[in-house]
Amino acid sequence: MPFETMAPDVDETRQAGETATELVQRLSEAKARAGGDTANALVIGSDQVAVLGEDILGKPGAHEPACRQLERLSGQVVTFMTGLCLYNSVSGDIQLDMVPFRVHFHDLKEEQIDRYLRREQPYDCAGSFRSEGLGITLFRRMEGDDPTALIGLPLIRLSGMLHAAGVTVP
């Protein structure tokens, strides 16, 4: 299916009192609507956060914060919450959801963390790793209904949304 990609300018700042689910759903919808401003199409918006306990983990931005983040995740279970929005810019219809996916981390050693970060430099990723690369070696187990949610676009749920919007896939 033909498609275009864009990076809409959306302020991703968490609002006071906003839960992780509310945050990713709001940002997914804002991104889809921003993309719909320039197209007569179905527009997909997505956003993801990593959550450890009650804490939303940000993108580390650099090596040292990424080291600290992965040290904190060592031996823990992290939930990745991926917001998904399908916006029909012609009718104004919105389908909105959040797809969770849990990652169980190995007990990580300092040398392993440093070696991984220097190799992949996932400083723009929540959780300080890329599961589609060597980051997968940091995990003991993964669980969830849609493994594609972990990389930021839950394709199983998106397929259902597209079907509900009248798109035949495949």
Catalytic amino acids? 47
CA distance 74 to 78: 10
- The string over 38-75, giving b where at least 16 C-beta atoms fall within 10 Å of a residue's C-beta and e elsewhere, is eeeebbbbbbbbbbbeeebbebbeeeeebbebbebbee
CA distance 146 to 155: 7
